[in-house]
Structure 1
Amino acid sequence: MDSVIEMNEVSKLYKDKKAVDNISFNIAKGSITAILGPNGAGKTTALGMLLGLLEPTEGSVKIFGQHPKEKMVREKTGAMLQEVSVMDRLKVREIIALIRSYYPQPMDMEFLIKATGLAPADLNRYAEKLSGGQKRSLGFALALAGDPELIFFDEPTVGLDITSRRRFWDTVRGLAEQGKTIVFTTHYLQEAEDIADRILLFSKGHLVADGSPDEIKSRIVKRSLSFLPVGDRSVLRKSLLELTAIEDCYEKEGRIHVTTDDTDEALRAIFITGLPVKDVRIDQGRLDDAFEQLTMNQEEAV
């Protein structure tokens, strides 16, 4: 599998603090990767090094096998950062046309206009008159202006309404299907779970988890089972708590839930004992549960 991004034993120091500490990973062509982590985790620093805006203190960063600042890399890379600044006294259509002109093979103008989601009248407005959400949509179009093979998005949907957010992610999925490589950061964990093929979870400068959303969730220490009772609820709950594989038992929305370290063993015990349950469901937990556990218990996760 071709690697578009190679980060090898990279650290970044600011005075005596390591913002990024000995991180290594490769990202394959055509994948969608989310970089997640709490504030101060190192993800913005990592993104800055991938974009060539920062130099690593130790280790190496390669994009398409070259340094991120190489002209060839820049021509094949697009980026939409958190702060979208626009040039005053230029109209939206003029800005898009200007940025396209910097690239040897720019993205189709009509596609970029569609990606903005802006009305025809908005394209003739001065860019500084756009709302915050409209400016982010314009920033999206500018990130795609050069028809890049690798695209970075830093908190791309902040300020977007539901319709604009859906259009954005639909477009991103389409770009990945064309073989383009997507890397994004977000605080909306549901977006990462729904969109990303792979999650890189940062905490305190370390990479504490790397895998698909399902693989990340599978690392949650506590998992749960739920089911509907057949017969007396209180008797069933008491019987469940007597099983060594079950740690806790509670009711929620008409279902009985139990927490356990081993769902297989808990199910085996329930069925061997013959407890009266039906409609059994296994809940691996949500991505935000994994996020909290893995970042709060970093030493254990590493």
Structure 2
Amino acid sequence: MQTSQHTLVSVRQLSKYFGKETALDAINLTIHANEVVALLGENGAGKTTTISTLLGQLRPDVGEVLVFNHKPGHWAAKQQMGVMLQSAALPDNVTVIEQLRLFASYYPNSLPLDYVLKTALLTDLTNRKVQTLSGGQKQRLLFAMAIIGNPRLVILDEPTVGLDATARREFWTCIRTLAANGTSVLLTTHYLEEADALSDRIVVLSKGRVVAEGIPADIKARLGGKCIRFRSTHAIANIESLLPDVQVQRRGDYIELISATPEAHLYALLASGGNVQDLTVTGISLEDAFLHLTQTPHTNIQTIQEKSA
């Protein structure tokens, strides 16, 4: 998607403390017009604190935050934002169209109901009671409520958590349609495939700090090389001794390593005498990059933008 350099959200050196705990440590974040930004991080990384600050629910302890050139929580900023949080209650005994008509009445320039229903894939469910909707359908209704005010920016906090694969991909269609029509999106998700499929740019948080930022391809390319995955009678310690320059980790029954010289490392593995089974060599995935970034000491990490500067 073609993005504009017009800045909707500007976060500069934002820090937030809860007692002695540092929730956010001097983070920088921008969101431009016409882009989808995925904010990734393990539990406790600072994603929810960041969103709460953008919404004006928390005040920065240090730094500056501007949303549409206003302080977070200002009415002029709220009028241009739509929000879908992780937990939200819906009344059971109303229909989809009744709920959307109610929310449309809150805004002076709400979107046409037909457009909202089509974007949220709810056209065939207008007269259904909320209590009869599936989990995925309720999520799409919450999405419709977030966009009906014609926002320039929509914040989606874990919008597909708990959905099955079919419902999740239906929701992806909703997000793509919204973004294609020019609305910017800030998305948090634990599904890295989702971030890879939807986002123009990814920001990775770890322990309250931004440890990487860039387009998905750049974040994956940062590791370089290939991912070697296999089962083996080798112990992890033996492989680490055999390949001291490679980060080795176990995932379930498999051993994985990221290699910049996969041919040499494969030769060493196969020549070592250990039993190697189910061997695959693939390109770096976003999950590989995410795990590497969030498990590496921060002192050794630079953001992609800093490295390219």
Instruction: Quickly name the TM-score band, shorter chain normalised.
Output: 0.7 to 0.9
Partner residue of 1:217 out of 216, 220, 228 = 220
Write the distance in 1 (CA, Å) between the matches of 2:288 and 2:151: 35
Q: Give the aligned CA root-mean-square deviation in angstroms.
A: 2.9
Write the distance in 1 (CA, Å) between the matches of 2:118 and 2:57: 30
**Counterpart in the other structure of 2:17:** 13
SS at match of 1:44: helix
Displacement, 1:129? 4.1
C-alpha spacing 1:215/1:131, structure 2 compared with 1 (3 Å): same
SS at match of 1:93: helix
Displacement, 1:167? 3.1
- Bigger radius of gyration, 1 or 2? 1
Number of residue equivalences: 262
Displacement, 1:202? 0.5
SS at match of 2:223: coil
1:279-298 aligned at under 5 Å gives the runs 283-298=282-297
Is residue 11–residue 66 contact of structure 2 (8 Å, CA) maintained in 1? Answer: yes
Write the distance in 2 (CA, Å) between the matches of 1:39 and 1:114: 34
SS at match of 1:98: helix
AA of the residue aligned to 1:261: A
Write the distance in 2 (CA, Å) between the matches of 1:54 and 1:258: 40
Q: In terms of mean alpha carbon deviation, does 152-161 or 93-102 score higher? A: 152-161
1:1-302 aligned at under 5 Å gives the runs 1-118=5-122, 120=124, 122-220=125-223, 223=226, 260-261=259-260, 283-299=282-298, 300-302=300-302
Unpaired stretches in structure 1, ≥5 consecutive residues: 227-243, 249-256, 267-281
Displacement, 1:283? 5.0
Write the distance in 2 (CA, Å) between the matches of 1:141 and 1:258: 42
C-alpha spacing 1:224/1:89, structure 2 compared with 1 (3 Å): closer
Write the distance in 2 (CA, Å) between the matches of 1:201 and 1:188: 13
AA of the residue aligned to 1:109: L
Unpaired stretches in structure 2, ≥5 consecutive residues: 230-242, 248-255, 266-280, 303-309
Is residue 218–residue 284 contact of structure 1 (8 Å, CA) maintained in 2? Answer: no
Write the distance in 2 (CA, Å) between the matches of 1:153 and 1:7: 18
Is residue 117–residue 164 contact of structure 1 (8 Å, CA) maintained in 2? Answer: no
AA of the residue aligned to 1:83: S
Displacement, 1:60? 1.5
Percent of aligned positions that are identical: 37
TM-score (structure 1 length as normaliser): 0.78
Write the distance in 2 (CA, Å) between the matches of 1:259 and 1:84: 40
Write the distance in 2 (CA, Å) between the matches of 1:113 and 1:198: 27
C-alpha spacing 1:167/1:247, structure 2 compared with 1 (3 Å): closer
C-alpha spacing 1:105/1:265, structure 2 compared with 1 (3 Å): farther
Write the distance in 2 (CA, Å) between the matches of 1:209 and 1:247: 21
C-alpha spacing 1:261/1:10, structure 2 compared with 1 (3 Å): same
Q: Which deviations, in whole Å up to 9, do the C-alpha atoms of 1:94-124 show, x marking residues without a partner?
A: 110010111111111012222343464x433
